Amino acid sequence: VQLQASGGGLVQAGGSLRLSCAASGRALSNYGLGWFRQGPGKEREFVGVISRGGGFTDYGDPVKGRFTISRDNAKNAVYLQMNSLKPEDTAVYYCAAKSNAIYSGIYYNAADYGAWGQGTLVTVSS
């Protein structure tokens, strides 16, 4: 599967952005999906994850209560709604897909994901 992330940009602190990740080549319904990010000078960080059926989600502590991950298997896409953005959310955001995922499984480790989008830059100004 090939992934294409979009929706990044420059936003003021307190604002919102919605990232999208479109898939081609395979049906995303067979994949567990996640979002990760890498800020300037930082290691890649887990942001959020959603199970194949969409019934289970989880988030990294820094974004809990502010970010929401969702998926539309009919559109072969996954989304990340980001609210109440902070300057520390500035990063390149990557979507990722894990094949052979358990239907209700959620996966936190970047090493579990075999397909990655190219990343989209989110910059939050103070």
**pLDDT, tens digit (0-9, with 9 covering 90-100), for 59-102:** 999 999 999 999 999 999 999 999 999 999 999 999 999 998 99
Sheet (strand 77-82) strand order:
2-6, 17-24, 77-82, 67-72
**Nearest residue to 48 via CA among 66, 30, 36, 56:** 36
How far, CA to CA in Å, does 86 sit from each of 6, 14, 17, 45, 98? 19, 6, 12, 16, 29
100 versus 17: the higher-pLDDT residue is 17
Q: Determine the average pLDDT of the residues in 50-62.
A: 96
**Do 46 and 58 contact (CB within 8 A), yes or no?**
no
What's the pLDDT score for residue 120? 98
The one-letter amino acid code at 44 reads R
Among residues of the chain, what percentage have pLDDT more than 90?
98
What's the pLDDT score for residue 72? 95
| CA angle, residues 16, 49, 81, in degrees to nearest 5 | 15
Residue 112, by phi and psi: left (phi above 0), alpha (psi -120 to 50) or beta?
A: alpha
What's the pLDDT score for residue 79? 98
CB neighbourhood size of 92 (10 A): 18
What's the pLDDT score for residue 83? 98
